[in-house]
Amino acid sequence: MNQIYLDHAATTPMHPEVIEEMSRLMQDIYGNPSSIHNYGRKAHEQLENFRETIAASLAVKPHEIIFNSGGTEGDNTAIIGTAFSRQEHGKHLITTAIEHPAVLETMKYLEKEGFEVTYLPVDKKGQLQLADFQKALRDDTILVSIMYANNETGNLLPIKEIGEILKDHPAVFHTDAVQAYGKIPITPYEDHIDLLSVSAHKINGPKGVGFLYKKDGINIPAYLHGGEQEEKRRAGTENLVGIGGMAKAVELLTPEVQAENREKYREFADIIFQTLDEQQVAYHLNGDPEHKLPHVLNLYFPDVSNDLLLMKLDLKGTAISTGSACTAGNIEPSHVLEAMYGEDALIVDQSVRISFGYGNTKEAIKEFASLLAETVKKSL
């Protein structure tokens, strides 16, 4: 039985060259980047080289990159920091109903602290309507936080258009780009993005490390207090090994490699669609096929329980996802699909997420597609 991992939207395996780079750093560069002796200077030099590599991937200035523990910290820092530092200008925040819990739970916390949050709806394709956004935008709106791409459907949201609307508005614009970064070109300056969160483990880097892009002129207080690391913006000794692994992962994802990956993942999706069609399996693609990341497929199989399908495939060595948040072993209905179709829609409990990534081959996808079709038919 071949093991096939198709849950790259949840997390990715580390690239061998990432592991090699991290091993080198653990052995050779163990000084504290804040120390002034030779060991510290070497570590600091490496840290700044990594910062330059990551900044170049977004075409931004190196000092606009703040290293942290990942997407959740980046989202919390951006949202809470902006809200409390700008509350004298207003207490209205805008987000969407399909954000990652790192954003939604942070917004709920701020509501308890007296802020007003507008959760924008999406249509049945999971797409945000600009008219709804423009209607929600107010003079006292101080922050807009909208994800670049949805982690369950792969939908790309209209970030460029929102940035264009906000360029003449005082609201700070934050985007959770955890799922999109490394998959498509992202240009914060052109998109008028002020704050952007990224996590390394989504791009074949290590877990527990990421960064927050903070545009010059956007002033938010430090989320962690202590030392003066990261230009006093994020206290704590930098995770040099993790940051080095992240930088290597970024370095490997050149624009050419990203383009090749996008084409490869579209081919993988076509293989699955063709196999399901040939096997006369009923299915529906959730999301917006015209505006999505190609590595994420969210498929609805009528009358087939998604947790049962996931379990059967898991027993056969294949890993996919329900696309739902799993906390302490309890699978909850997808809030994204509920926002699209309604809380009582059967489609919510009959959809699965398949996501491609490093290590997947055409042969493995063909094998998976046949197994998926067979398993769905036997589950009816």
User: Known catalytic residues?
Assistant: 326
Q: What is d(CA 59, CA 337) in angstroms, rounded to the nearest whole number?
A: 34
Mention every residue, 6+ apart, whose C-beta is less than 8 A from residue 368. 4, 6, 272, 318
Helix/strand/coil for 292? strand
Using CA of residue 64, residue 106, residue 332, residue 294, what is the dihedral sign?
Answer: negative
Q: Could you count the other beta carbons within 10 Å of the beta carbon of residue 183?
A: 24
DSSP 8-state assignment for residue 74? H
Q: What is d(CA 57, CA 257) in angstroms, rounded to the nearest whole number?
A: 13
Determine contact, residues 182/211, Cβ cutoff 8 Å.
no
Q: What is d(CA 357, CA 265) in angstroms, rounded to the nearest whole number?
A: 8
Q: What is the DSSP string of 11-72?
A: --PPPHHHHHHHHHHHHH--S-TT--SHHHHHHHHHHHHHHHHHHHHHT--GGGEEEES-HH
Q: In what order do the strands lie in the sheet with 351-355?
A: 284-286, 296-300, 351-355
CA 273 to chain centre: 25
Tokens of 203: 């791009």
Q: Between helices 306-315 and 362-379, what is the axis angle to 10°?
A: 130
Q: How far is CA 75 from CA 25, 177, 241, 300, 374, in A?
A: 28, 10, 22, 30, 41
